[in-house]
Amino acid sequence: MSTVATAEAHHDHGAPKGLGRWLFSTNHKDIGTMYLVFALIMLFLGGASAMVIRAELFLPGLQLVQPDLYNNLVTNHALIMIFGAVMPAAAGLANWMIPLMIGAPDMALPRMNNLSFWILPAAAIMLVLSFVVPFFPGGGTQINTGWTLYPPLSLQVGMSMDFLIFAIHLLGISSVLASINIIVTIFNMRAPGMKLMEMPIFVWTWLVTAFLLILVVPVLAGGVTMLLFDRHFGTSFFNAAGGGDPVLFQHLFWFFGHPEVYILILPSFGVLAAIIPTFSRKPLFGYKSLVGAMISIATIGMVVWAHHQYTIGMSLGAVSYFMIGTIIISIPVGLMIFNYIATMWRGAMTFETPMLFAVGIILMFTFGGLTGVMLAVVPADLQYHDSMFVVAHFHYVLLPGAVFGLFAGVFYWLPKWTGNMYDEKLAKIFFWTNIISFNITFFPQHFIGLAGMPRRIIDYNVMFTEFNVVSSIGAMVFGLSHLLLAYIVIKTIRGGKQAEAKVWEGAKGLEWELPSPPPFHSWTVAPQMK
């Protein structure tokens, strides 16, 4: 029986009821919703650890926590935010929107879709356990390695490290399964007549992201498995005493770690490509060049990983190659930014919340990109390396580039998902508090970094106090502003002004032809592309 026929057979029933609907769901919309709810919970968990870090750094000296616990908070904050909040949220948007955008009745592999989601809570429990175990008798030491898990530190930590390694394995399996599903869906289930170069850019960004994930996640899995063997089975891959090389781990980690930033950012750039034309009321400028830029970013992004490792003593040839490669990657990224600005140019723009986020992203991501080019230059990086400047740089890239893009996507599609309009006034309050407090938090960190404050330290020189006070106050406001986001989302789900099928005046694409909310089984008859 074909997918279409199956969908039609079930069409009358609507959505199933009760807990079973969510546990056993193979419906892309339900699974997308679960991904998004999971990501929101993890956002609060990762955000809470960040607020403890910033509360500790409010003043010099030890305030709230012990050094080992502080280091563990730093480790957990990064891992929860990357693997628990941003990636599942992006996967939630993909699950919800890709079938609607390409006119498919569902994802190609619905049962695998269910599995790839339900692996996540198990991984999240292991992540949390890695944090909790040291508090119990015989639980060993806290993970004090940062998210990079560098040996020899990661060889010396107690059993919490093993929990972390298994959590990373599970998260990796989930990502790879979801990626296979997305690739198969995009290639095999597009509406008749929809060519690859006619797909929405959001679908393109996810296609590129899925390939990236399949290429780099196994390398991380291999690296942490070797770490596990070094810890328990007497091997010496990374143990210098046994003839191993700790730097080998760094190469394996960053071969995954650098493409990972593009994995986090690209889906959000796909969201921008949907939002900016809508609120500029103009077609997207330079579609082909955008697709080309994305593929170039993914390709070059895979071969520049060692710019994270300038201080390890590589040869002059190696550091020169990684420096030039890193600077070159700014060209396709710049091209994407240019295309978005050109789309806005002379458009009939209105500034609803999604568009405000889009403009905010372009401004702040560009700034984050400029500090990235500064860090790419080897002699300069020797000065900036492991300072707070690096922390400022990647938060300016990742928060606007990935997180704000996801917020923009949520506000853009929430009326479509729920059938209710969100409260525009509250959403704008959320945007402004979020954006202002973000800049208050991270902008001062550039200065203290350039003045020589190292990252990942619990205590610091008195001369950095003022900037840290400002940064910590900003972080508290920034963290708490997300409660407003949760409130807006819950309020919208519960009711509000009825949303039309085409929620936004300038919106184009298949998803706007369906009613809001879309039926439980959409596109049971595939749309014909002209």
What whole-number percentage of the chain has pLDDT above 90?
Answer: 95
Strand partners, 498: 420
490 contacts: CB under 8 Å, gap ≥ 6: none
pLDDT recorded at residue 530? 73
Q: What's 477-500 look like in SS3? A: HHHHHHHHHHHHHHHHHHCCCECC
Q: Amino acid identity of 162?
A: D
Residues making up the chain, counted from first to last:
530
Average pLDDT over residues 88-100: 98
What is the torsional sign of CA 313, 149, 326, 360? negative
Strand partners, 194: none
DSSP letter at 420 equals B
Domains and CATH numbers, the chain: 34-513 (1.20.210.10)
DSSP codes joined into one string, 219-238: HHHHHHHHHHHHHHS---SS
Q: For residue 167, what pLDDT band results from cuts at 50, 70 and 90?
A: very high
pLDDT recorded at residue 249? 98
Q: For residue 471, what pLDDT band results from cuts at 50, 70 and 90?
A: very high
Helices (H) and strands (E) in the chain, counts: 19, 0
Give residue-wise pLDDT tens across range 450-466: 999 999 999 999 999 99
Q: For residue 10, what pLDDT band results from cuts at 50, 70 and 90?
A: very low
- Give the residue among 231, 224, 229, 227 at the shortest CA–CA distance from 257: 224
Average pLDDT over residues 286-306: 97
More reliable by pLDDT, 200 or 528: 200
Q: Amino acid identity of 244?
A: G
pLDDT recorded at residue 13? 65
Helix, strand, or coil (residue 283): coil
Tell me if 354 sits within 8 A of 415, measured CB to CB: no
Average pLDDT over residues 227-235: 97
Q: For residue 529, what pLDDT band results from cuts at 50, 70 and 90?
A: confident
Compute the distance between CA of residue 98 and CA of residue 190 in angstroms, rounded to an integer. Answer: 10
Whose tokens are 């879309």? That residue is: 518
pLDDT recorded at residue 60? 97
DSSP letter at 527 equals P
Q: Is 439 exposed, middle or buried (0-12, 13-18, 19+ CB in 10 A)?
A: middle
Average pLDDT over residues 127-156: 95
Q: Amino acid identity of 77?
A: H
Give residue-wise pLDDT tens across range 482-525: 999 999 999 999 999 999 999 999 999 999 999 999 999 999 99
Average pLDDT over residues 241-266: 97
Tell me if 175 sits within 8 A of 213, measured CB to CB: yes
Cα separation values, 61 from 46, 300, 413, 469, Å: 24, 43, 46, 13
Average pLDDT over residues 306-310: 97
- Give the residue among 353, 310, 358, 28 at the shortest CA–CA distance from 182: 28
In this predicted structure, the answer to whether residue 12 has a pLDDT above a threshold of 90 is no
Compute the distance between CA of residue 333 and CA of residue 293 in angstroms, rounded to an integer. Answer: 7
pTM of the full structure:
0.96
Give residue-wise pLDDT tens across range 136-150: 999 899 999 999 999
Helix, strand, or coil (residue 314): coil
Q: Is 248 exposed, middle or buried (0-12, 13-18, 19+ CB in 10 A)?
A: middle
pLDDT recorded at residue 509? 95
In this predicted structure, the answer to whether residue 4 has a pLDDT above a threshold of 90 is no
Give residue-wise pLDDT tens across range 414-457: 999 999 999 999 999 999 999 999 999 999 999 999 999 999 99
In this predicted structure, the answer to whether residue 229 has a pLDDT above a threshold of 90 is yes
CB neighbourhood size of 187 (10 A): 11
Give residue-wise pLDDT tens across range 181-225: 999 999 999 999 999 999 999 999 999 999 999 999 999 999 999
- Angle value at C-alpha 211, between 208 and 216, nearest 5 degrees: 120
Average pLDDT over residues 386-401: 97
pLDDT recorded at residue 309? 96
Q: Amino acid identity of 16?
A: P
Tell me if 292 sits within 8 A of 341, measured CB to CB: no
Q: For residue 7, what pLDDT band results from cuts at 50, 70 and 90?
A: very low
In this predicted structure, the answer to whether residue 1 has a pLDDT above a threshold of 70 is no
Compute the distance between CA of residue 332 and CA of residue 296 in angstroms, rounded to an integer. Answer: 7
Helix, strand, or coil (residue 26): coil
Compute the distance between CA of residue 15 and CA of residue 518 in angstroms, rounded to an integer. Answer: 12
Compute the distance between CA of residue 100 and CA of residue 106 in angstroms, rounded to an integer. Answer: 8
Helix, strand, or coil (residue 324): helix
Tell me if 48 sits within 8 A of 131, measured CB to CB: no
Helix axis angle for 388-398 and 424-450, nearest 10°, is 160
More reliable by pLDDT, 419 or 528: 419
Mean pLDDT across the chain, nearest whole number? 95
In this predicted structure, the answer to whether residue 271 has a pLDDT above a threshold of 80 is yes
In this predicted structure, the answer to whether residue 15 has a pLDDT above a threshold of 90 is no
99 contacts: CB under 8 Å, gap ≥ 6: 28, 105, 106, 107, 185, 189, 522, 523
